[in-house]
């Protein structure tokens, strides 16, 4: 299913003091296209938390996406998965998740990676990081010009990395259809206000 333009939330387990579901609900109430569950702390998925997040997403008409592990995404009936360059086989993921699933792939600043991902079955591609990220400090930097070049691919383009309400406009202007945001939404008390401001950027067209 094609992702609409807007906010792509990344709920990162490691960045949160606790699993503040009430905060997540307030952010979702501002209108997110999708929410990714990302947990780099353990290989053992927290099924209770996943179920809670999934239920919140359903209630807010937000697609629920699992990072790294397409098997887990299939097992819990998520709406999709996000795979990095070494997170498994994209064609296998598409076959397991079905044609309606949202399947995204990280391409850093490489259009050739995006082309390969789309040929293998991805339906959207992600570039970045564009700004310094506390969530993934070692992510390699990318130039926003890649977003403009990626428009030629004709699929939803996601930008990620250190994005907040102050710096997102430049990435949207460069060609991003979605901004993937973690800490500015989920590790700060003003996350709901940030979501409101980000949405307003997309409403401008």
Ligand X SMILES: Cc1ncc(COP(=O)(O)OP(=O)(O)O)c(N)n1
Binding site for Mg ion (CB under 5 A): 68, 84, 87
Tell whether residue 11 is among the known ligand binding residues: no
As measured in angstroms, the least distance from the Cβ of 67 to Mg ion is 6
Enumerate binding residues for ligand TZP (CB under 6 A). 10, 128-129, 133-136, 139, 160-163, 181-184
Query: Closest CB to ligand TZP among 90 and 127?
Result: 127
Whether 13 is a known active-site residue: answer no
As measured in angstroms, the least distance from the Cβ of 47 to ligand X is 19
> Which residue's Cβ has the minimum distance to Mg ion?
84
Tell whether residue 106 is among the known ligand binding residues: yes
How far lies 56's CA from each of 39, 62, 129, in Å? 18, 8, 27
As measured in angstroms, the least distance from the Cβ of 18 to ligand X is 21
Enumerate binding residues for ligand X (CB under 6 A). 8, 10, 36, 38, 40, 67-68, 82, 84, 87, 104, 106, 126, 136, 158, 160, 180
DSSP string, 73-142: HHHHT-SEEEE-TTS--HHHHHHHH-TTSEEEEE-TT-HHHHHHHHHHT-SEEEEE--S--SSSTTPPP-
Q: What is the distance in angstroms between the CA of the first residue and the CA of the last residue of the chain?
A: 22
Whether 106 is a known active-site residue: answer yes
Residues 6+ apart with CB under 8 A from 184: 163, 164, 165, 191, 194
CB 11 within 8 A of CB 28: no
Tell whether residue 167 is among the known ligand binding residues: no
Whether 102 is a known active-site residue: answer no
Residues 26, 36: Cα–Cα separation, whole Å: 16
Tell whether residue 92 is among the known ligand binding residues: no
Pick the catalytic residue from 94, 102, 106, 126. 106
161 Ramachandran zone, left/alpha/beta (phi>0; psi -120 to 50)? left
How many C-beta atoms lie closer than 10 Å to residue 201's C-beta?
A: 17
Tell whether residue 5 is among the known ligand binding residues: no
Residues 26, 139: Cα–Cα separation, whole Å: 28
As measured in angstroms, the least distance from the Cβ of 103 to ligand X is 11
**Residue 182 interacts with, from ligand X, ligand TZP, Mg ion, none (CB under 5-8 Å by kind):** ligand TZP
Provide the annotated active-site residues: 38, 106, 136
- Binding residues for Mg(2+) are 68, 87
């Amino acid at each position: 299913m094609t992702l609409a333009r807007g906010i792509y939330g990344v709920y990162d387990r490691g960045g949160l003091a606790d699993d503040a579901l009430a905060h997540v609900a307030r952010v979702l109430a501002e209108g997110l296209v999708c929410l990714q569950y990302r947990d780099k702390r353990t290989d053992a998925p927290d099924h209770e938390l996943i179920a809670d997040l999934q239920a919140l997403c359903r209630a807010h008409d937000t697609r629920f996406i699992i990072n790294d592990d397409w098997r887990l995404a299939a097992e819990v009936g998520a709406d999709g998965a996000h795979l990095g360059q070494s997170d498994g086989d994209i064609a296998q993921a598409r076959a397991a998740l079905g044609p309606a699933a949202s399947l995204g792939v990280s391409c850093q600043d490489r259009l050739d990676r995006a082309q390969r991902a789309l040929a293998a079955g991805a339906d959207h591609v992600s570039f970045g990081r564009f700004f310094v990220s506390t969530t993934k400090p070692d992510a390699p930097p990318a130039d926003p010009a890649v977003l403009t070049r990626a428009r030629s691919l004709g699929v939803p383009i996601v930008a990620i990395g250190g994005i907040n309400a102050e710096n997102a406009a430049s990435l949207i202007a460069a060609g991003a259809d979605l901004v993937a945001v973690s800490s500015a939404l989920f590790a700060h008390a003003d996350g709901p206000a940030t979501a409101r401001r980000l949405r307003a950027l997309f409403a401008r067209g």
